[in-house]
């Protein structure tokens, strides 16, 4: 099914990773790996589209504290739902970002505010590589994707851009997709959500007159420097992406082989 056949109004950055060129001249199978934002804002018209996609497994990377303040995912059928929270409530950058999003007092975050939101986002991406719940969640998600019983697999966080974006990077790298292709897919979020982003910015600044849109905008976008921060952390800690998969995420050669067998054509 072509991507244009299943646009989701309530998740405008949703996309199939199928068709991307991968290892050994092969391609990622269409309709097997679907990345989206949280599914709680799907419209009634979106539900038959999701039904056609028919995910066997839905991976939710949100923490429980994020789930309770959001509308519940709207699902079709009875997919296996797996919660793999990639979040650290004690991490100062996470609490700063939450404070900006929720309109809380930012006085306690003067140092982070001085460094700027792009620096905060880069710190989160470095944490994706080394954080305990990040390594556990991303590793478990890859193992789920390697099991044909879980395909099609749909995965999401809240906005479907950062945790979802990095999991896409991990999966596509394991499948042998070139870094330039992976980067292009990662950056597509911005074009797919441009109008939504402006609406969100307007709402945030209307709710908080003291919030500079220039502070909030980097939080609502993906940027090359965020991805670079994660790649740099992979090299710094593990030396190579293969070592990160093996030692950081516990994804062994057999899992990578199963992933490629099930997800490449």
From 166, 159, 104, select the one nearest 135 (Cα to Cα). 166
d(CA 93, CA 166): 17
Question: Which one of the listed residues 22, 59, 157, 256 is annotated catalytic?
Answer: 157
Tokens coding 257: 């082989």
Q: State the Cα–Cα distance between residues 177 and 101, nearest whole angstrom.
A: 34
Strands, E assignment, the chain: 15-16, 33-36, 57-60, 80-83, 153-156
> What's the CA gap between 131 and 124, in Å, rounded?
9
d(CA 100, CA 117): 10
φ, ψ for residue 91 (rounded to 5)? -75, 125
Q: Judge whether 262 and 57 are in contact, CB under 8 Å.
A: no
Please choose, from the candidates 199, 202, 197, the residue with its C-alpha nearest in 3D space to the C-alpha of residue 219. 197
Q: 3-class SS at 90? A: coil
Query: Strand pairing of 15-16 and 33-36?
Result: antiparallel
What order do you get walking across the sheet with 153-156 strand by strand? 15-16, 33-36, 153-156, 57-60, 80-83
57 counts as catalytic: no
Residues forming the active site:
157
């Amino acid at each position: 099914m072509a991507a244009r056949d299943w646009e989701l109004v309530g998740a405008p950055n949703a996309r199939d990773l199928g068709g991307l060129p991968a290892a050994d001249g092969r391609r990622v199978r269409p309709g097997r790996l679907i990345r989206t934002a949280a599914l709680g804002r799907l419209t009634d018209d979106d539900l038959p589209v999701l039904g056609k996609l028919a995910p066997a497994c839905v991976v939710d990377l949100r923490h429980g504290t994020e789930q309770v303040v959001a509308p519940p995912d709207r699902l079709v059928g009875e997919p296996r739902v797996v919660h793999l929270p990639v979040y650290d409530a004690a991490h100062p950058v996470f609490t700063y970002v939450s404070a900006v999003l929720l309109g809380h007092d930012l006085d306690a975050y003067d140092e982070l505010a001085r460094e700027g939101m792009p620096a905060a986002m880069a710190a989160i991406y470095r944490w994706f590589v080394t954080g305990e719940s990040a390594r556990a969640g991303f590793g478990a998600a890859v193992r789920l994707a390697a099991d044909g019983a879980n395909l099609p697999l749909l995965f999401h966080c809240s906005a479907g851009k950062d945790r979802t974006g990095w999991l896409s990077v991990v999966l596509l790298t394991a499948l042998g997709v070139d870094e330039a292709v992976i980067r292009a897919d990662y950056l597509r979020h911005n074009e797919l959500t441009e109008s939504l982003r402006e609406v969100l910015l307007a709402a945030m600044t209307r709710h908080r007159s003291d919030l500079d849109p220039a502070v909030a905008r980097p939080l609502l976008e993906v940027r090359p420097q965020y991805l670079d921060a994660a790649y740099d952390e992979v090299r710094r800690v593990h030396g190579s992406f293969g070592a990160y998969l093996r030692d950081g995420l516990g994804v062994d050669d057999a899992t990578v082989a199963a992933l490629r067998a099930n997800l490449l054509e």
